[in-house]
Amino acid sequence: MSITKENWGKADNKDVFLYTLKNRNGIVVKISNYGGIITSILVPDKNGKTGDIVLGYDSLIGYLTGTPYFGAIVGRFANRIAKGAFTLDGKKYKLAINNGNNSLHGGIKGFDKVVWDASEFSDSISARLKLTYLSHDGEEGYPGNLNVTVTYILTDANMLTTLIEATTDKPTPVNLCNHTYFNLREADTSILGHLLKIKADRYTVVNDELIPTGELRSVQGTPMDFRTPQTIGSRIDQVKGGYDHNYVLNKDVTSSDLTVAVIEDPVSGRIVEISSTQPGVQFYSGNFLDGTIKGKGGKIYKQHYGMCLETQHFPDSPNQPAFPNTILKPGEKFDQMTVYLFKVNGLFV
């Protein structure tokens, strides 16, 4: 196991570094302390050819000049908050509006656009990158000083673990996740031929602004049903605008199996199995990619050339009392884990 560090430029007058984590099986993960961004994941295909399975840019400038959250840690609240407002302990808070009438992924300058403090470590068991950030009281409209720690861990078991922890000195909404775009065929074509399985019987119904109505609807008999493996493109034309929905994950408290979703590309043989402690996962099929972004190696990212499975709490939870609680209080700890297991030539779980 190893981790190396190189200078990648500057942002906000701070040094930005690119860290390279490697295991003994040829898997390479590159992460920047700008935005906590996973810039590359290199894994072999069924023929042993290594390729990059995530979308992004070759240099820091791409991330600085506008990006749809490629690979980043998003927060203080991932996903949308309706009208950029919520009431907490009788006080109304107004957030930065950056998505139509709503607040998305923490606001105008969310956690994806800040330089995190970083420390690295490796031994015979793992390579680890620890990132920390203090989000000050009032930042983007949120109350409380929020101390956040993100730890990325790569092992020889071909697992990349993301641990996200946070504490606060005032009650505040917290919903943190990673926003990596996957394409297991190295973005040479769309993800519509990928097979997807999501362990969820229900999803959160949304309005035209992608804000939950509060209804948790069964996936049974609908194009939202991925309880058995389906190609993403087989029913996407039946979903207005494409997939951009939060799934209510089936959780068996008696089971130690935290697997929530599996992606497989039959052509390359690559598989990503995702486990998480979170109650939901947002499946986004890259609907807003429009061919205007030139990514790594000059590749053009067209519609559906990337997909996200964002393990998280439900959208607009501060305004939806029936949803799982997202208010973090002093003395409590936000603590979530997501694991990406990379396989090849395997069978669906």
Mention every residue, 6+ apart, whose C-beta is less than 8 A from residue 283: 196, 198, 226, 243, 244, 245, 247, 261, 307, 308, 309
Mention every residue, 6+ apart, whose C-beta is less than 8 A from residue 237: none
From the candidates 105, 139, 179, 245, give the one annotated as an active-site residue: 179
Identify the CA nearest to 170 among candidates 149, 143, 148.
143
Residue 2 tokens, joined = 């190893």
Are 153 and 55 within 8 A, CB to CB? no
What is the four-CA torsion angle of 219, 223, 228, 231, rounded to 10 degrees?
Answer: -160
310 is known as an active-site residue? yes
d(CA 72, CA 123): 26
Write the single-letter amino acid at 183.
N
The gap between the terminal CA atoms of the chain, to the nearest Å, is: 27
From the candidates 140, 304, 310, 313, give the one annotated as an active-site residue: 310
160-163 CB contacts, 8 Å cutoff, 24+ apart: 160/29, 160/41, 160/339, 160/340, 160/342, 161/337, 161/338, 161/339, 161/340, 162/337, 162/338, 162/339, 162/340, 163/335, 163/336, 163/337
d(CA 171, CA 145): 10
Residues marked active site are found at 179, 310
